[in-house]
Amino acid sequence: MSENNEIEVMQSVYDKNDEVAKQINEALTAKGIFAINVMGAPGAGKTSTLIKIIERLDGTTPYVIEGDIEADIDTKTLLALGVKTIQINTNGACHLDSPLIGEAVESLNIKDGILFIENIGNLVCPAEFQIGEHVKMLISTVTEGSDKPYKYPLAFEKANIIIINKCDLLPYVDFDEEYFMKGVRALNKTAPVFKISSKTGEGVQDVVSWIKQNLK
């Protein structure tokens, strides 16, 4: 009995976010900023890895947007090191989206350098949203186990660079690197994978070299 008249829509519901992300990306590029979306689980060592990278940037200016659900501990640490940082609290939301980044970028007066955007500690939602970045950096750890690519495929698929952190703990944990890499390569043929320790700084220089090669 229903006489519905069907109207074709075929429109992505992501459109607003992606449109804003594209604008942010263009604005950042015009300012000479290379933006890195840093993703990883809570406790993966995102902030400590950033600090080790920033210490080695050598002449390139770093900026940081710290996404957090509610705390600002990481921002205080970075500010104490003299890094221009701003805090975004999502008040419960599980990822950063592009309107949030747009506001933050405006308030951070930035030019010529690298913008690290530390996403919320979560391996699910951050992978799904463009936020105006040039590359996505995924930080996984040997303590999380080698099954992460199998459990969070999208994050590994979308990453442009993958870091295995806490490698100083390899003698103490059961991390099956072969199984991990098999999963990574099934999802992502091209992203380089770097083994580092954000505690000792081992391997970080290679990450910095990769970033510098990919600048501009």
Partner 1 sequence: MHEYPITKRIIEISEEFAKKNNADDIKQINLVVGDYSGYVASSIELYFDLIAEDSICKNAVLNIERVEPKLKCSDCGKLFKRKPFSFACPYCQGEGRPTEIGQEFYIKSIEV
Interface map 169-208 toward partner 1 (x if CB under 8 A): --------------x--xx---------------------
Which residue, 81 or 94, is less far from partner 1 as judged by CB?
94
Rg (CA), the chain: 18
Which residue, 24 or 83, is less far from partner 1 as judged by CB?
24
Asked whether position 128 contacts partner 1 by CB under 8 A, the answer is yes
Beta strand ranges found along 128-212 (DSSP E): 135-141, 161-165, 193-195
Choose which of 86, 135, 154, 170 interacts with partner 1 (CB under 8 A): 154
Which residue, 130 or 198, is less far from partner 1 as judged by CB?
130
Q: How far apart are CA 192 and CA 45, in angstroms?
A: 19
Contacts within 8 Å (CB) and 24+ apart, 203-209: 203/167, 204/49, 204/52, 204/53, 204/56, 205/56, 207/53, 207/161, 207/163, 208/53, 208/56, 208/57, 208/58
Asked whether position 147 contacts partner 1 by CB under 8 A, the answer is yes
The amino acid at 138: L
Residue ranges in contact with partner 1 by CB under 8 A: 2, 4-16, 92-95, 97, 124-125, 127-129, 147, 150-151, 153-154, 157, 183, 186-187
